[in-house]
Amino acid sequence: MGVGDRQRPDRLLGGAWLAATLLTAASADILPLAASLAVLGAAAVGSRWPLAGPVLAVIAAPLWLQAAGVSGSLQAPTSPAGIVGASVLGVALVLAVAPRPGRTLRGVVLGLGLVQALRMWLVQDEVPGAPPLAGPLFVATVLVAGAAAVPARRRRRAAAVLACAALVHLGRGGWRMGSVPESSEDVRRLARTGGLARHLDRLVARPALGLAAVAADPLAPRPALDLLPVVGPQRLVDVGWRPGSAPLDPADRCALARALERRGRGGEALRLLRRDGNAPEVAWTRVLLARVQGLPQADDDWGTAPPGTPHLPGAVRLSWSLLANGARQLDFHLDRDVPALYLDVRGQAHRGPPRLWVTVDAGEPRRITPGPTVSTVAIAGPLAAGPHRLRVVFDNDLADADGDRNAWVDAVRAP
């Protein structure tokens, strides 16, 4: 067989390597790119064509770097798939550039690949954002491709051992992906590897696990939407759920916005309400929260107050008994502009009068010291029509063997 006949398979191998590089580099999944380059790159090492390795390595290097996350995004890979993929590509690049890699170089390359594979085996479940089974697949790729770096006389035995290790690792990853979550740690692991979608019914049936799933992935609309009628909006917000663009009916949207505001996330609450601004109840709640935060709003875009909302002018009976330090609030609707707002208050002194701080919307708190008889005190005004919030804070409670300091708020009035 002549020289040309011996070189023809090598040229075909080089062309296949380059074609695989160009075809798989455009894929969003780095797995086919890593597998193709690792296997073909290792095979090219044994090529009798002297320039096959260096030439193809130079042509494919930019694509390798982009796939490894070094160029393009200018960020090192952080997911197990990216890290293992970068390791495999690095192994293939070293093997391709070296014209005649000896036993020492082969051993070093194999050792580095296996160390990286072991590292990913240990930490793959701790890195967020990894797609399901990406880590096990890449570790298996490293193990199988690493057999090409073993000396020829031991390659068959090494390939068998490494292939068995790869199958065991894939089996372990598949078993962990398919296992049913029994604890919060199981839920967090499945969230990191993208396996929660198969267990939504179980997460809803066991709200504690469902809330752990929401905390592990607060941007996901499910299982939070399924848990909403079970646990209520406040518990979902308390574990960090961010409703974002989740599909919600007006009542749930308003309830979630109020829960967000109670957690100090008023800006997020307003953004949530703006996504369904045409619903009358949503528009009313949006104007209310904007006024409470001191943001400007048009005077005629508040929609319709939710059912059960108190309306003024007139009087609304409150009957608030402030027997310990704390706060009470009332959201109400003014049907027209009013010159002032009044409270009917009384107090019981003990070593000093009780002290109340009264706020309407985003106004300055006003201090009131109620006496033993009912007094009507002006607390704000003038006020424009629409939604408003009244908040009363009692902050100087005192109780001992000689007496008790308390306060009562009987009613709110508007002429």
Task: Name the 3-class secondary structure at 132.
Answer: coil
Q: Is 209 inside a domain boundary? A: no
Q: Is 238 inside a domain boundary? A: no
Last residue of a domain, one of 178, 202, 225: 178
Task: Name the 3-class secondary structure at 392.
Answer: strand
Share of the chain above pLDDT 70, in %: 53
Judge contact between 5 and 48, C-beta under 8 A: no
Report CA dihedral (169, 173, 178, 179) to the nearest 10 degrees: 90
**7 and 76, same structural domain?**
yes
Residues with Cβ within 8 Å of residue 318, at least 6 apart in sequence: 328, 330, 409, 410, 411, 412
Give the pLDDT confidence of 17-56 residue by residue, as tens digits.
Answer: 444 444 444 443 444 444 445 444 544 544 555 544 554 4
Checking if the pLDDT of 201 tops 80, the result is no
Checking if the pLDDT of 290 tops 60, the result is yes
Last residue of a domain, one of 145, 178, 211: 178
What 8-state DSSP symbol labels residue 326?
A: E
HEC assignment per residue over 50-81: CCHHHHHHHHHHHHHHHHCCCCCCCCCCCCHH
Q: Which residue has the tokens 């790869």?
A: 166
Q: Is 128 inside a domain boundary? A: yes
Q: Is 12 inside a domain boundary? A: yes
386: left (phi over 0), alpha (psi -120 to 50) or beta: left
The domain in which residue 333 lies consists of: 311-414
**154 and 298, same structural domain?**
no
Report, as an integer, the average pLDDT of 348-372.
Answer: 93
Q: Is 234 inside a domain boundary? A: no
Task: Name the 3-class secondary structure at 361.
Answer: coil
Last residue of a domain, one of 292, 307, 322: 307
Token pair listed for 158? 């090494």
Give the pLDDT confidence of 207-241 residue by residue, as tens digits.
Answer: 888 888 888 788 878 888 888 888 888 888 888 88
Checking if the pLDDT of 338 tops 50, the result is yes
Q: Is 10 inside a domain boundary? A: yes
pLDDT of residue 299: 54
**394 and 266, same structural domain?**
no
**263 and 163, same structural domain?**
no
Checking if the pLDDT of 368 tops 70, the result is yes
pLDDT of residue 367: 95
**64 and 37, same structural domain?**
yes
Give the pLDDT confidence of 104-129 residue by residue, as tens digits.
Answer: 444 444 454 455 445 444 444 444 44
Judge contact between 48 and 2, C-beta under 8 A: no
CA atoms of 124 and 119, how far apart (whole Å): 8
Q: In terms of Cα–Cα distance, which of 45, 47, 19 is closest to 33?
A: 19
Range of weakest confidence among 49-58, 166-175, 185-194, 204-213: 49-58
Q: Is 188 inside a domain boundary? A: no
CATH number of domain containing 330:
2.60.120.260
Q: Is 74 inside a domain boundary? A: yes
Angle at 154 between CA 150 and CA 159, to 5 degrees: 65
**257 and 137, same structural domain?**
no
**322 and 296, same structural domain?**
no
Quick count: other Cβ atoms within 10 Å of Cβ 249?
Answer: 12
Q: Which residue has the tokens 């009358």?
A: 280
Token pair listed for 139? 């570790």
**259 and 163, same structural domain?**
no
Q: How many domains is the chain built from?
A: 3
pLDDT of residue 238: 87
Quick count: other Cβ atoms within 10 Å of Cβ 163?
Answer: 14
| Claim: this prediction has a pTM higher than 0.75 | no
Q: Output 251 or 67, whichever has higher pLDDT.
A: 251
Residues with Cβ within 8 Å of residue 222, at least 6 apart in sequence: 197, 200
Q: Output 262 or 147, whichever has higher pLDDT.
A: 262
Judge contact between 139 and 123, C-beta under 8 A: no
**31 and 146, same structural domain?**
yes
**152 and 109, same structural domain?**
yes
State the pairing for strand pair 326-334/311-312: parallel
CA atoms of 60 and 135, how far apart (whole Å): 24
**287 and 325, same structural domain?**
no
**154 and 303, same structural domain?**
no
Name the CA radius of gyration of the chain, rounded.
34
